[in-house]
Amino acid sequence: MRKYRPRIVGITGSVGKSSTKQAVFTALAPKFNARSSQKNYNNEFGLPFAVIGVDSPGKNIFKWLAVFIKAMWMSTVRVEFPEVLILEMGVDRIGDMDYLLNIAKPDIAILTAIGVSHLEFFSTPERILEEKIKIFRELGAQGCGIVNIDDKKIRAAIPHIRGKVLGYGFDPAADVRIVDCQVTYGRKQRSFGTMFKVSYKGETAPVFLSGTIGMPHVLACTAAVAVGLNFGMSLKEIAGNLAAYEAQPGRLRLIPGVFQSTIIDDTYNAAPNSTAVAINELAEFPVVHKIAVLGDMLELGKISEQAHKDIGIFLSKQSFDYYIGIGKKIKLAIEQLRAEGVPNDQALYFDKQEQLIKFLEEKVNDGTAVLIKGSQGSRMEKVVKAIMAEPKRARELLCRQDGKWLKN
């Protein structure tokens, strides 16, 4: 990459990396020759594919040969290359960020949130933070660190950032601040979206995200505003570009369901903080009937049991028609729900997806919103596919619809 010298936007965090990557690309692409990493190419294996601009060759030796030839060709002959690379930088274990920074050193580094995912590989959330803030280590004096200051843990990272710092979020101290955020929904037109305003140095611009709900998307787009400002774009120009933003599969994406219902598809992954956010989105969704369907939250290590019980307590404070769990770990949440006083005929547990799907088909109707969420290993996208209005569009709309995933 030293040969081509693209400006690199690196994105890390426990949640929100992919949505932020999508938002940054949407904001910059109309003005710059930009490329973002595809799928979840964000680790020591995927990041080089993202830099070269190829898909993973899997186990195909001929595709591996093609990747090698392209890499050698790029290193010897000057080819067209993006002005801007937008890269996810995911860390699962101690030392991962060091390796990724050897591949790509960001000019702009974004830290989205700190949660408790991958705790089975880290001893504490503080150790996760220590690993992730390394992304700011290679920023030069002309670099820019962009941080979600709504996350109190992240504020501790600010002293580690050389060069410019931009904070984004709802907090009044944010440089790029979110104001007046609300979901719009019209049942007859089946139109929905999120309207908010973003403010910077006394200037304010409206942003409308059509077909998208959820604070994670609002935060992702606000991080993108901070990036665009750092690229010299106007607030109005960035806000206009973000009108084309679309939620990626499995990330709080709204999908028409059977019998005129609405599915809130958040099946890409699950952790305690993202599950709580999704539950809040269902609670605030402007329909009459609401059903929460949750699978296991995985990779939580020693906090797993308590985390699932805490979700049960959190759920008990909501007013939903049904609270449904499927998976050995989420059963703890359902048991906790019942202990909190939720009736057994509302707090339900299913052993098999087939039973769950049959129940949903009997209960959903026009005016019902169904949140479906779980970790990758829970394969909750199969439930979405079974009750979506247009299952033939599954490959287009849902996560994990190719390769090995369809075989399992």
The pair of three-digit structure tokens given for residue 98, joined into one six-digit string: 């060091």
- Helix (H) / strand (E) element for 219: namely helix 215-230
Domains of the chain (ranges, CATH numbers): 7-244 (3.40.1190.10), 253-407 (3.90.190.20)
Name the average pLDDT for the chain.
86
**Which contiguous run of DSSP H or E holds residue 129?**
helix 125-132
pLDDT at 150: 93
Answer for the pair 113, 149: CB distance below 8 angstroms, yes or no.
no
CA dist., res. 321 & res. 289, Å (int): 6
Tokens of 146: 């962009």
Q: What is the pLDDT of residues 341-365, one digit of tens each?
A: 999 999 999 999 999 999 999 999 9
Averaged pLDDT, 250-278? 93
* Alpha-carbon gap, residue 296 to 329, rounded angstroms: 5
> Distance between CA 132 and CA 113 in Å, rounded?
10
Q: Is the pLDDT of residue 393 over 90?
A: yes
pLDDT digits (tens, 9 = 90+) for 65-76: 554 555 555 555
Q: Residue 121: what pLDDT? A: 63
Tell me the per-residue pLDDT of 27-55, one tens digit each, with 9 for 90 and over: 999 999 998 876 665 455 556 666 666 56
Mean pLDDT, range 373-398, rounded to an integer = 95
- Residue 57: the pLDDT is 52
Pairing of strands 164-169, 34-36: unpaired
The percentage of the chain sitting over the pLDDT mark of 90, rounded to a whole number, equals: 57
Rounded to whole angstroms, the Cα distance separating 408 from 251 reads: 21
Q: What share of the chain is helix, strand, coil (3-state, %, to 5)?
A: 40, 25, 40
Over the stretch 116-132, which tens digit does the pLDDT of each residue have? 655 556 667 678 888 88
Instruction: Identify residue 349 by its one-letter amino acid code.
Output: Y
